[in-house]
Structure 1
């Protein structure tokens, strides 16, 4: 089981220190919406998106297809794995000893790749599963692009689409991960129990993560409290909303102005939790460098340019609980131009 780094137990925090919510219907106007996103990402590293425009039936269809897969006997599910890194996995997260109380599917978002994997996931009707995934990916990719373009506007980028162009490239390395957390032996309805880590403390390495889950709590984020001390904050479940996380690459692209959020999932619950995460990711050879507008005399360049392939390779050599981008900075520090 993943053991997170030392941190206070999860506790309630004042609303002003809690979960930022952004209404994507933009009742206050586009400029105000982009300002809210920049503020939420800068202060918290994530926000809850409501009125996001993703049709409910799209999420419901993916949930149904996913639940049907995870309900199968273990031997049938194992035929879709082991994850290499795509496919079905259970408990073991990566190759460095991280484990959790979950089962999962990891899929590349390329429709042809999904169709190939669907043959082992839904043998009765592979197109049923692949169509559900592809429809979902199309919808959440559109949402991710909206958010990234608004973020570009809010940051005053000369080309506000600088971020979204990275994930719409034909050779994008974007993934979708479907996690299933069955009720654990320790399940007593208390998701704060330290002995039932479903997915341990980590940050997401990609540009942006778009997460949606069913009505079961479990997601926790590490935020500073009123005293400036880190505390685990329970994120109330809301199946009608999406939770948007800053990833490591977005931290690098903004020269550290936006910081990737550290989070975990607790699985000590009497009900199964089902979640789907779209990881917005550039092509493997895409160059990642702080955009010129984010580098100033007061904020010199923090990271040397690197490719997603380079960072991905380094990231996969580490355990979940490492602060991966900070460690990567040490590994590739050029000196002089660094902070």
Structure 2
């Protein structure tokens, strides 16, 4: 890492490299994890500056993209400069609408009402949603080994829904029923979205929609860049299968829990762990 990046590294939000989570998972990746909650009125002093990507390098940009951190609820929340923050808000608002539209279509297909039975949890202002920007550098020749290098290890997304857009580079794979890995066809133009069901949506639909285990491998000299919107429910929201989807006998496959409880439980494990098994009836 260059010194500016190293100085900006923080947890749980902000810049990080190679280390994924706190349980020891590693990947050939560097990333920004950005909180989409409203920023506090008063920001803490700047701890680092990075070149502002929102402005043209010619002529030299007078702005610097300042990373700020503020303690909220025991966590350190990172924020960027106002100009970049507005761009992030514009993009996250647009992709949140995409996520909600997809969830409304899912609810319609399941025959449950109201139309926003699923989407409302992501649309709410207090929803726990984040934006993750991943950069998978080209595989170094000196690493040797097999043809694939792990960029991001196998896992399921814990939130309700994930909406991903990449630069068109290959690398995303999903796990099939027999345990084999299948490459997701990449979008050469980088103008399509990949929508992923999260663990929470699997719970809400009582298993009708299932979260799929996926991973990213680095197997070419082209960098992969992806932006992922993770739509999560509000922290205190009580989650359980929708009554209309309990089926004959009203059997719920999962016990009720809060998003805060589920999120906290998942943070203690490894990427590949089955988090939902702890909440099954």
Question: Does the pair score TM above 0.5?
Answer: yes
Residue deviations 1:116-163, cap 9 Å, x none? 699744461533422221111011001001011111111111212011
> 1-side partners of 2:207 and 2:135: how far apart?
32
Aligned to 2:6: 78
> 2-side partners of 1:135 and 1:203: how far apart?
27
> 2-side partners of 1:180 and 1:104: how far apart?
6
Aligned to 1:207: 160
Q: 1:187 to 1:145 in 2, by over 3 A?
A: farther
Compare 261-270 and 295-304 and name the one that shifted more: 295-304
Mapping for residues 256-295 of structure 1, pairs under 5 Å = 256-295=207-246
Counterpart contact for 1:187–1:268, Cα < 8 Å: no
Aligned to 2:34: 107
Counterpart contact for 1:222–1:262, Cα < 8 Å: yes
Residue deviations 1:291-332, cap 9 Å, x none? 001102267211110000000000001100112212x22xxx
> 2-side partners of 1:248 and 1:274: how far apart?
24
> 1-side partners of 2:134 and 2:191: how far apart?
17
Aligned to 2:185: 236
> 1-side partners of 2:215 and 2:87: how far apart?
27
Mapping for residues 30-45 of structure 1, pairs under 5 Å = none
> 2-side partners of 1:139 and 1:205: how far apart?
21
> 1-side partners of 2:266 and 2:22: how far apart?
12
Q: What displacement does 1:231 show?
A: 1.8
> 1-side partners of 2:234 and 2:272: how far apart?
25
> 2-side partners of 1:216 and 1:266: how far apart?
11
Mapping for residues 1-339 of structure 1, pairs under 5 Å = 74-82=2-10, 84-112=11-39, 120-121=49-50, 122=52, 124-125=64-65, 126-186=81-141, 193-194=147-148, 196-224=149-177, 229-238=178-187, 239-297=190-248, 300-326=251-277, 328-329=278-279, 338=281
Q: 1:182 to 1:294 in 2, by over 3 A?
A: same
Q: What displacement does 1:187 show?
A: 8.7
Compare 266-275 and 118-127 and name the one that shifted more: 118-127
Structure 2 portions without partners, runs of 5+ = 53-62, 66-80
SS in 2 for 1:276: strand
Counterpart contact for 1:151–1:160, Cα < 8 Å: no
Q: 1:299 to 1:218 in 2, by over 3 A?
A: farther
Residue deviations 1:47-86, cap 9 Å, x none? xxxxxxxxxxxxxxxxxxxxxxxxxx7211223222x211
> 1-side partners of 2:5 and 2:272: how far apart?
28
> 2-side partners of 1:290 and 1:259: how far apart?
13
Paired residues, what number? 248
Higher relative contact order (CA 8 A, sep 6+): 1
So what's the TM-score if we normalise by structure 1? 0.69
> 1-side partners of 2:191 and 2:128: how far apart?
27
Residue deviations 1:256-275, cap 9 Å, x none? 11110100000122011100
Residue deviations 1:19-42, cap 9 Å, x none? xxxxxxxxxxxxxxxxxxxxxxxx
Structure 1 portions without partners, runs of 5+ = 1-72
Residue deviations 1:71-121, cap 9 Å, x none? xx7211223222x211100000011110000000000113527x9699744
